[in-house]
């Protein structure tokens, strides 16, 4: 980490998409600490791509669970 | 009542999924195939017990889980656990780096994803999903499968693969980013 990190007026670190993406992903597996939560929410407020990234990971999770129960089979559903 | 030839075909159609499941748990192709075979035989001989209210995949998975546990018990009592720890990073991060510019921002603009709706669309999606999972490095794929498909908690997975939790989180992150890229290219972005 460099010393001259960009910060918001309140002192929160201005993180890059690269770091934000890690936090978005980590949030599926563990709780974020106070600083991480602030950094992420500040970033998400102004980054459309990371908002989409988060939405996509949610769908990915939903679809993975659906995959575990098998896709619905229209032709075989009623027999 | 289901006619038995048809049920046989349907059960056989689930073989590929079950093999993935077994492989994520057992991490050995031959053993996985053997255990799946056992599970399928048990399913066929007990097919009368298939109530049809759960999906066929769910029912077969529960039989397979028992077979996997049986196998693991057998092995643990016979000899010590043979699991070898995957290398810490497993792979270089070059491909991940390439997704970001010098300032650490995404290079590409992402699409808005919508859920595959119709059943045929869903089946085509899961085929694409499987192809994308197959492109992941082995351990990454297995960790992802256990976490997101099987819904295991990270602590259990870490122990099983003998890796630290932070390593586990990073592996999962890589898996998600790689799958995202692959699915956007091959499915959602089309
Ligand atoms: Zn961003």
Taking 50 as the threshold, does the pLDDT of residue A77 lie above it?
no
pLDDT digits (tens, 9 = 90+) for B80-138: 433 333 344 445 678 898 999 999 999 999 999 998 888 889 999 999 999 999 999 99
- Those residues whose C-beta lies under 8 Å from the C-beta of residue A69, and which sit 6 or more positions away, are B55, B57, B58
Would you tell me how many other CB atoms lie within 10 Å of the CB of residue B172? 22
Domain extent at residue A43: 17-69
Domain count, chain A: 1
Instruction: Supply the mean pLDDT for chain A.
Output: 87
A21 falls within a domain: yes
Q: Is residue A76 part of a domain?
A: no
**Distance from Cα A15 to the centre of ligand 1, integer Å:** 8
Chain B nearest C-alpha distance from A78 (Å):
10
The verdict on pTM exceeding 0.90 is no
Instruction: State how far Cα B75 lies from the chain centre.
Output: 22
Q: Is the pLDDT of residue B25 over 80?
A: yes
Pick the CATH number of B116-188 from 1.10.10.10, 1.25.40.340, 3.90.1150.10, 3.40.50.720: 1.10.10.10
Which residues are registered as beta bridge partners of B34? none
Average pLDDT over residues B31-55: 86
State the CATH architecture for B2-98: Orthogonal Bundle (1.10)
Distance CA B163, CA B145 (A): 16
Closest to A76 in 3D by CA, of B57, B125, B36:
B57
CA distance readout (Å), B133 to A47, B67, B69, B108, B141 = 28, 24, 24, 22, 6
Common-topology check for domains B2-98 and B116-188: no
Query: CB of A58 within 8 Å of any CB in chain B?
Result: no
**Contact list, A49 vs chain B (CB under 8 Å):** 105-106, 108-110
Domain locations in chain B as residue ranges: 2-98, 116-188
Cα separation, B128 vs B190, in Å, equals: 12
Q: Is the pLDDT of residue A9 over 70?
A: yes
Which of A18, A21, A55 is nearest residue B113 as measured by Cβ atoms?
A: A55
Task: Mark yes or no for CB contact A26/B173 under 8 Å.
Answer: yes
A53 contact B CB<8A: yes
Report the SS3 class of residue A14: coil
Q: To the nearest whole angstrom, how far is the Cα of A55 from the nearest Cα of chain B?
A: 8
> What's the rounded Cα separation, in Å, for the pair A27 and A67?
22
Closest to B119 (Cα-Cα) out of B55, B177, B176, B179: B55
Give the per-residue pLDDT at B157: 94
| B76–chain A nearest CA distance, Å | 27
- Report angle CA B60, B163, B28 to the nearest 5 degrees: 40
Rounded CA separation A50/B105 (Å): 9
CA distance B172 to A61: 12
> Nearest Cα to B184, choosing from B104, B108, B100?
B108
Residues B152 and A71 sit within 8 Å (Cβ to Cβ): no
> What end-to-end distance do the CA atoms of chain A give, in Å?
61
CA distance A19 to chain B (A): 8
* Section A47-52 average pLDDT: 96
Whether A60 is covered by a domain: the verdict is yes
Window from B12-26, B85-99, B119-133, B162-176 with minimum mean pLDDT: B85-99
Structure tokens at A24: 């978005």
Distance CA B175, CA B135 (A): 10
Choosing among A20, A25, A65, which should be mutated to test the B contact, i.e. which has the most B CBs within 10 A?
A25
What share of chain A in percent tops pLDDT 70? 84
Q: Which of B61, B151, B176 minimises the CB distance to A60? A: B176
In a domain, A4, yes or no: no
| pLDDT higher than 90, residue A57 | yes
Tell me the CA–centroid distance for residue B110 and ligand 1, in Å: 11
Q: Which of B56, B119, B170 sits opposite A74 (nearest CB)?
A: B119
**What pLDDT, on a 0 to 100 scale, did the predictor assign at position A78?**
40
pLDDT exceeds cutoff 80 at B165 = yes
Tokens (6 digits) for A63: 């679809």
| Residues 9-28 in A contacting B (C-alpha not used; CB under 8 Å) | 16-19, 21-22, 25-26, 28
In angstroms, the CA A50 to CA A21 distance is 7
Cα A15 to Cα A11, A12, A40, A58, B188, distances in angstroms? 12, 9, 8, 21, 28
């Amino acid at each position: 980490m460099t010393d001259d990190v960009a910060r918001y007026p309140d002192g929160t670190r201005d993180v890059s998409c690269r770091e934000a993406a890690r936090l978005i992903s980590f949030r599926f597996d563990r709780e974020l600490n106070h600083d991480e939560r602030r950094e992420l929410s500040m970033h998400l407020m102004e980054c459309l791509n990371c908002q989409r990234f988060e939405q996509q990971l949610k769908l990915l999770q939903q679809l993975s669970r659906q995959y575990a129960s098998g896709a619905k089979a229209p032709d075989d559903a009623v027999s | 009542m289901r006619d038995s030839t048809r049920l046989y075909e349907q059960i056989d159609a689930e073989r590929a999924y079950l093999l993935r499941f077994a492989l994520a748990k057992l991490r050995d192709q031959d053993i996985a195939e053997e255990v799946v075979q056992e599970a399928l035989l048990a399913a066929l001989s007990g097919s009368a017990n298939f109530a049809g209210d759960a999906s066929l995949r769910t029912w077969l998975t529960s039989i397979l889980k028992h077979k996997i546990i049986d196998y693991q018990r057998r092995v643990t009592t016979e000899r010590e656990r043979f699991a070898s720890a995957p290398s810490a990073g497993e792979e270089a991060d070059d491909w991940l780096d390439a997704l970001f510019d010098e300032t650490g921002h995404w290079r590409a603009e992402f699409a808005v994803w919508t859920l595959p709706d119709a059943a045929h669309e869903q089946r085509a999606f899961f085929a694409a999903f499987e192809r994308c999972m197959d492109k992941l490095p082995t351990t990454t794929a297995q960790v992802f499968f256990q976490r997101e498909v099987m819904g295991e908690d990270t602590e259990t997975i870490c122990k099983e693969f003998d890796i630290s939790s932070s390593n586990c989180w990073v592996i999962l992150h890589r898996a998600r980013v790689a799958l995202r890229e692959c699915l956007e290219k091959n499915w959602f972005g089309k």
